[in-house]
Chains A and B, each alone.
Chain A
Amino acid sequence: MTVEATSEASQTAVPAAPEHPATAAASRPAIPEPPAASPPRAVFTGNEKAYWRLMVRGAALQTVTLGLYRFWLMTDVRRFLWCNTAIDDDSFEYRGTALELLAGFLLAILLLLPFYAAYFLVTLSLGIMDAGATIIGFCLLAALGQAASYRARRYRLTRTIFRGLRLHQDGAAWAYAVRAILWWTAILLTLGLAYPFAQTSLERYKLRHTFYGDLQGTFEGSGASLFARGVGLWLLVMVPAFAGIAVSAKSIDWAALVVFAPKTPAEIAPWLESASPDYGNAVVYLMLAIGWSVLAACMLYPLFQKITLRWWLNGLRFGALTATSDLKAGPVYRAYFRFLMYGLAFTLIAGGFSALLAAVAGTALDKIDNATVSEVATAVLMLVGYVIAALAFSTIYQVTIKLALWRLGVTSVTLNGSAILDTVKASGQRSSSFGEGLADALNVGGI
């Protein structure tokens, strides 16, 4: 279960449901009993140095193989995370292989090929390479992406072994995709207020179709409790922005604007300044308000992550097995702070290094008087620099934030009713890696 927890952590940060009174009461009498001295905690034994090594080597090999190594890196990462996550001394095991991922990816390409060809031909023959075709294509790909991510989850679960039994998932990928698309539309329309209810609904669907052996999962988190925990953050971020927009909108004489009827956007600004005396002040206020909102969003994001992750962990159930998380905000903030520090250090070092390189390469390129050659050389250097920077930041992010959130999430969990883990029976078969391949080809891959 902990395995699951972190794989979703990025999308799913959620508020802690108050501890079920019933659960708390049930756990108390268990304490004095000798065999279950204390309820088992989930533990994480992964060593960060080993993870750095894994990720840095993986990033380097991805550069030389133009990304083909990612299947092997992904497999290594999962093996590391799974086998270092344990409940009560029993660690998880990841059974997937890189070749499976590669095969799934190639299969997905075979499926997408006609799809893309058809899309290309249709847009070509309709003569619309414009917004309409782009939006339709985007919606289709988004739905396909959601379905793929559900199938990818199924692949990961059926490759997860705990105490000699595998997890598995049923349910229909398309049913999930439709739900997800509808919920995300609702989230956009409500400016994020529907997020807790969307997460609850989607997590209920996922967990309801998740099994450890013959033990079915459920999700008990409630949207209302996540909403109650998160609405404060939402208000802190959104209210100033709304206020700024409202004030600046009020300073405009709308009736006069309609009469003036500007033809191009460029005409509007000078007219506004002359017609509305308060407009200048309103714009300043609007900038300040939006600046505040952006700053607040950045500052509160780790807290949001903590709230959602804890809420999610608290909602997990497998039969009588319940999870209780006491995740704190402090360590989560520390993780983000470390990311900033490492990122800053990398930027300084890489910046100095590339300035040096630019000076050296600049003089070398000046000697070549063929414009095309030096243009191409410059473009290649820029591309290489971009790839290195992108990989470096992603590596730093994976280690300082993703790994930290996994570790914090896992170690925050106390399990109750774990006696049920002794009596589970095997069920479920391995699923194909096609979903993972599709998710990868569509760039919606998870951990």
Chain B
Amino acid sequence: MQPRSGKAIYFDGMTSARQTITVEILDDALALRTTYGKAIGLWPAGRLDQLSAPDGLLRVGLHGSDGLERIEIRDPVFAAAVDDMAETVDRTGLRERKLRHRVVLLSIGTLFLLAIMILFAVPAIARRLTPYVPFAIERRMGDAVDVQFRQMSGADDATLCGQRPAQAKGLAVFDALVARLGAAAHLAVPLSPAVVQRSVVNAVALPGGRIYVFQGLIDQAQSPDELAGVIAHELGHVAHRDGVRAMLENGGVSFLFGMLLGDFVGGSAVMIATRTVLHASYSRAAEAAADRFSVDLMNGLGADAGALGRILSRIGDAHPNEGPKTLSDHPQTAQRLAAIARQAAAPPYRPLMSASDWQAVKHICTQE
């Protein structure tokens, strides 16, 4: 038989005074009385609120009241009796545990939702938004990425080719080639091409029409059409604004992650985006579209569009695991090569430049 009444400490929520009182368990309420029998209050069972307390102490308040009045029961037998009477008193913490399980499940659900956002929603939004980014903004983004890119790729004023007198002709021919391709492509942004004295076999298009070709690629190219094909591929990225899309995508993803982890790192979105352009490459569809762009452009100029496929496969053979991911290291390389070969027009071809001009381009980075 459980006790129907017992002693408790009472705080009235208005003063810090501690009162010892008598608590009587009624059918659906607790009756609080002073030890002299004077009524303090009647607490309905449905409004009892168990409060956090150390082990061995049952602390009960009145739910839904602004006040802080509470009773503290130390006698374990009487505490158990109050617990049994009131549905809302959860002395064993069972209700709390159930609530906690729900929280964990909800959190995992949120994460799942977030993963879907990152995998599907963010790319889709970025794709839709890209056409509406003004070219002035694209140029700004390009400027910001350019600073990072130059640091990461080792391109600086000292490693830019074409600065010395002996390299001037090569640079002039190179610029003329890019200008001719650009004019044929009807691009909306002006191009700023540069050749970097680095052995990486790669070429990169940044947002805003900046195009970097590395010396390694020029060394690998066996004909003007191979070099032109790669540049035309990069112009495809410029025309499709793939760089802007990648920045929007990465900005969105890093923001979502930052939000989740409570750890925003402001300007780092630019850096992450740069890294993506450098390493992780664009999607398969973007690469195929850029290939297609290159082939159409080269066909239009009467040049050898299939040369792009030849240099890609040569780079792939020579550097199976390292090197220009933006260009070649793609699982679907074979498919890409086949598509290029299929779409390329048959000979005869019109030469893009004279043999002596091509020699000048090949020596654009040569130090005498």
**Chain A residues at the B interface, C-beta cutoff of 8 Å:** 45-47, 61, 64-70, 72, 79, 82-84, 86, 90-91, 93-95, 98, 105, 109, 112, 116, 119-120, 123-125, 127, 129-130, 133-134, 137, 161-166, 213, 370-372, 421-426, 440-441, 443
Min CB distance B70 to A, Å, is: 6
Nearest B residue to A105 by beta-carbon distance? B262
Supply 11 further A-B pairs (C-beta < 8 A) apart from A66-B107, A164-B12, A164-B16. Answer: A45-B55, A65-B110, A66-B261, A68-B111, A105-B262, A120-B269, A123-B144, A127-B144, A137-B266, A426-B13, A440-B262
Give 19 pairs: A residue, B residue, CB < 8 Å, sorted on A.
A45-B54, A64-B107, A65-B111, A90-B18, A91-B54, A93-B51, A109-B259, A119-B267, A123-B144, A124-B140, A124-B144, A129-B148, A134-B267, A163-B18, A164-B11, A164-B12, A372-B331, A422-B16, A426-B13
Are B15 and A425 interface neighbours, CB within 8 A? yes
Chain A residue contacts of B111, Cβ below 8 A:
65-66, 68
B321 interface residue per 8 A CB criterion: yes
Chain A residue contacts of B321, Cβ below 8 A:
371
Min CB distance A366 to B, Å, is: 13
Q: What interface size band does chain B fall in? A: 35 or more
Distance, CA A441 to CA B16, complexed state (A): 36
In chain B between 2 and 52, which residues have their CB closer than 8 angstroms to a CB of chain A?
A: 11-18, 51-52
Are B266 and A116 interface neighbours, CB within 8 A? yes
Nearest B residue to A68 by beta-carbon distance? B107
Chain A residue contacts of B148, Cβ below 8 A:
129
Are B54 and A130 interface neighbours, CB within 8 A? no
Pick the residue among B18, B144, B263, B267 that contacts A422 (CB under 8 A). Answer: B18
Interface string of B135-161 (1 = CB under 8 A from A): 000001101100110000000000000
B287 interface residue per 8 A CB criterion: no
Chain B residue contacts of A116, Cβ below 8 A:
264, 266
Interface string of B59-92 (1 = CB under 8 A from A): 1000000001110000000000000000000000
B100 interface residue per 8 A CB criterion: yes
Min CB distance A248 to B, Å, is: 33
Distance, CA A65 to CA B12, complexed state (A): 41
Min CB distance B5 to A, Å, is: 22
Nearest A residue to B100 by beta-carbon distance? A72
B104 interface residue per 8 A CB criterion: yes
Min CB distance B138 to A, Å, is: 11
Are B147 and A130 interface neighbours, CB within 8 A? yes
Are A91 and B108 interface neighbours, CB within 8 A? no
Nearest B residue to A116 by beta-carbon distance? B266
Min CB distance B6 to A, Å, is: 17
Are A66 and B262 interface neighbours, CB within 8 A? no
Are B52 and A69 interface neighbours, CB within 8 A? no
Chain A residue contacts of B144, Cβ below 8 A:
123-124, 127, 129
4 pairs of A and B residues whose beta carbons are closest in the complex? A164-B11, A65-B107, A424-B16, A68-B107
Min CB distance B272 to A, Å, is: 13
Pick the residue among B12, B18, B264, B267 that contacts A112 (CB under 8 A). Answer: B264
Are B16 and A213 interface neighbours, CB within 8 A? yes
Tell which of A130, A371, A421, A424 has the most Cβ of chain B within 10 Å.
A371
Are B259 and A426 interface neighbours, CB within 8 A? no
Nearest A residue to B57 by beta-carbon distance? A91
Are B68 and A165 interface neighbours, CB within 8 A? yes
B103 interface residue per 8 A CB criterion: yes
Nearest B residue to A112 by beta-carbon distance? B264
Chain A residue contacts of B52, Cβ below 8 A:
79, 82-83, 93-95
B329 interface residue per 8 A CB criterion: yes
Nearest A residue to B147 by beta-carbon distance? A129
Chain A residue contacts of B57, Cβ below 8 A:
91
